[in-house]
Structure 1
């Protein structure tokens, strides 16, 4: 997995993730897409991508989350997803899980609601997108996972709701990645 392979696959991923966003009805909410994320299965691939991404951006966070390094790279030139500019890429080093497909895995959308936990985030999201109620209740083929990942230095709660279908994932969280990173310096 190389940077060029990722760039070559961006158009397909971008189109598929936009269609999934529309299926969920999130496209009408004008949520900020603050970053996209990769999945790799080896430290060697992660090291190579770290080096390659460092040439096209700046690593603004290198933090331990759930026992593994996760980098956030702010790109010199944002990736475009339709009319949306995505400034940051999340590069997690692999965990024990082996992903069936390496490459682009998800985008993260910010619902700026100040939610401190998953219940508050769910309430705020359903207020703006009531069509998600059946999905969140587990009544559809779309899988939902709620979590509150936290980096070693983070001081800002950032609950997350992940929607997964056909190898695609869209996560909604309450804080932007840059706000979370800024909380590490406080």
Structure 2
């Protein structure tokens, strides 16, 4: 029985990720929820599965509360990292200009000239599209012609990413 419990703890983050992916795909395909909300819902469902799974395993064993909480913390952190990787996997295919550019060149068949490419990648249009997305999700708000932080969740996530880059890589961006 001890090994079954150990396996449950070991695979808890992976099972959470599988649930995350399944829920995110289902929500993105079969509802009118936007991509970002589907990612949030998938992540929350996977996190719930990890917490519930850890609770069930802990309740069915004689593990001390401190050990159960430590295992829960480790598995939440591991799941968070897997979820972060999944988010960027989706993001890479959806918004990365390099990936999009390669896809468009491939779909064009005979290639595209520079003028065609520049018309598709107008910097003003890109900023306008991103602003509309941020406004639509409430991440920013507009008052008197100026933009301000609305819901700060993505700001906090970006600050955590910058902090992690600083700690691990010793820099805050690829341009440092």
TM-score by length of 2: 0.29
Larger radius of gyration: 2
User: Which of the pair is proportionally richer in helix?
Assistant: 2
User: Which of the pair is proportionally richer in strand?
Assistant: 1
Higher RCO, Cα 8 Å, sep 6+: 1
